Amino acid sequence: MTPSRSVIASLARTVIVGYLLLGALILGVGLLVTATFESSSLSADDTISRWLVRSREPVGEALSGVASSLGNTTVIVCGLLGFCVAALSARWWQPAYMIAGGLAIELGVFLSVNFWLDRPRPDLPVLGSVPSTASFPSGHAAAAVVFYLGLALTATCRIERRSIRRLVWAVACVVAFSVGIARAYRGVHHPSDIVAGWALGIGALLITAAAISKTSSPCDVPSAASS
């Protein structure tokens, strides 16, 4: 079963409206962090960031490198393409739209806010490479939340046992949120960048999931007859 043109148009409008609303919200938060409460916010950011630097150990550096890579653009894009091909091949368009739409909102807000706010990255020793973009919000943290929590929502739709559903959600949350923690640990982002990225990712995923729920459900698995 595929969505009608009216449903597609409605979902497309959701992406646009979601981008505008979340963009305004995240930009407002960023302005508060970097301007209105600059001294106190940056002081707290600096304290946490420097504590993370002092806490670095070889094992932590290695694990943070793995966690950080799970939020890389290449990993997310390849994962998204593979997931969408599998879902759409099964004529299960709801989760494909939910994750792809959520990532579209996330990317649009990230690029816009990142450009306009242009927050400098922490003045700290960095592990690994530093992206050419600015610091606020964390795109890695936001994309990881949308993608991995979206996968968890999709997977648990087909799992009946509550204990396994809880395990899937636990693993997804650890993976999704560890990406942001790793980025702060490696000195690439201020902690407030990470929190804003998490908020952006959660908001983008909720918006697309709510939009789908008006027409069907992300858990509406296609029957054998419809496929």
Average pLDDT score over residue span 15-24: 93
Provide the pLDDT for residue 47. 86
Domain assignment present for 223: no
Q: What is the mean pLDDT of the chain?
A: 87
Structure tokens at 221: 């698995």
This prediction has a pTM of: 0.89
Provide the pLDDT for residue 225. 37
Could you list the residue range(s) of the whole structural domain that residue 150 is in? Answer: 5-213
Domain assignment present for 219: no
Residues 143-159: pLDDT tens digits? Answer: 999 999 999 998 888 78
Domain assignment present for 218: no
Residues 170-185: pLDDT tens digits? Answer: 999 999 999 999 999 9
Domain assignment present for 226: no
Domain assignment present for 222: no
Domains contained in the chain, number: 1
The CATH number assigned to the domain holding 48 equals 1.20.144
